[in-house]
Structure 1
Amino acid sequence: MGTRYWGEFVDNRGSVLWVIGGTGEAVELAAALAVEQIPCLVTVTTAIAQHAYKKSSYLRVLVGGLNVASLGEFIQAQHIGAVLDVSHPFAVEISQGAIAATRALNLPYWRYERPAIKTSSNERVYYIEDLQAVLAPEVLLKQRTLLTLGYRWLHHFAPWQTQTTLFARILPSSVALEAALLAGFTPDRLIALRPPITAELERALWQQWGITQVITKASGAPGGEDIKCAIAEQLKISLYILNRPQLNYPVVCRSQKEALAVCRGWWRSHQGSWVKN
């Protein structure tokens, strides 16, 4: 894993809060924790993501994938005393691994759960539990389908590239672009944008490409789910929303205020130490 150090932890008693990044809320919470002078280790998967975090003596950012099978060793090596999981709602593997590791080590784990938006009453909005519901001729054939699922899901649509017209919006990263190209998407059917995306831009993109249906994830307002629902109704376009995976999180924080409160309480009781660079 590549690393970018903004501070140096010196306490080997488990004085570091591990913030599992991956969302805009992770950036906001990390900034707030730094103001509280709580030393945080933030993990992100791409080099681009690290630039969203402001430089602080109380933040250290590690870039790259983690071996889920050895998270216990990672936690001990990094002197982590508690975990705040602010990963994407669909990043199931890292969440499951962190839950298992903290249970084994008897450490606090808190999940910040992005608020879900109210279920749409639009008859053109369909909520699905898995992709098999849309990987079917009656859904995909004779359509111009926009996928905003993230690059990890695009390979499922590779067999359909010769049977229907597919477009994808991905994050502006080399990893996402490579995955999209491997899944058969040509450059003229790809656009790389990082959320948030305005309603005006979203609508213009759908109209520019002549989209007849959209397949997306239940990523909440920060992921533009509410905007997609509104535009689908305006343009009379079908919208398929993949529901979030249901995990049994030990503790769930429903707001950033609540997440900050539990972290603050842990830090005050723990009395870890920190030395600025």
Structure 2
Amino acid sequence: MVSIALTIAGSDSGGGAGIQADLKAFSALGVYGCSVITAVTAQNTRDVTAVHPIPTDVIAAQIDAVLSDIDVAAIKIGMLGMPDVIETVAEALQSFDGPIVLDPVMIAKSGAALLPQEATAALREVLLPRATVLTPNIPEAARLLDADEQLTDEGLKQQGRALFACGPQAVLMKGGHGAGGTCTDWLMTADSEQSLQSERIDTKNTHGTGCSYSSGIAAGLAKGQSVAAATHAAHGWLHDAIRRADQLNVGSGHGPVHHFHGLWA
């Protein structure tokens, strides 16, 4: 029987991030993917030129349609956009008791804002306590805490502990925005603080890394893996997807990672 995961996120017309990246990640890792679209973006590898929010009643109807019929084992939440959407998603998931991976999408790779300032508090207060794993990058962690960005390992761990205190069962502090030849992520749980290290790859083609990483974790959780096992597996898979990204040669800006590097060149 196939494992099933659901992504609740925005659509990327360029195919590199959002629900398109999530569904690719699910498929690449052997999981059947369902989707709930929260916004439609006009987007390519260079820029986000338009964002059209989906009405909250339609978002709720999508969630109900999937969960009332399909045996979803894990959920990944990405771009939500506005406080009313955050509230809608939280309410619609009240009866879901499986793992939830929350990727606090705030800024696109191009620099376009995807989460207004007034929605940050709602995200922190309403959804962080529901998350099995929270996966912020350095700018997102700082914004969630209304603090300065931290680039050192100790600074990342301190912010990870502060976010863990907001209610999620685990926090993955991603170090991709840091410097140096090694990229270090920190997985913070009640019992441990584990580092995940990889060689920093010199490429501009990293569009969709955050979406893909969180979806990779959700795929592992859908298959019954522990948080630690799912995170380590997604970390290794994503590193190879970034390493092979230049083979795709998609667009003239920040191209996508190669989700299917294990299947075709």
Point out the structure with max Rg over C-alpha: 1
Q: Bigger relative contact order, structure 1 or 2, given CA contacts below 8 A and separation 6+?
A: 1
Q: Scaled by the length of structure 2, what TM-score is found?
A: 0.32
Q: Scaled by the length of structure 1, what TM-score is found?
A: 0.31
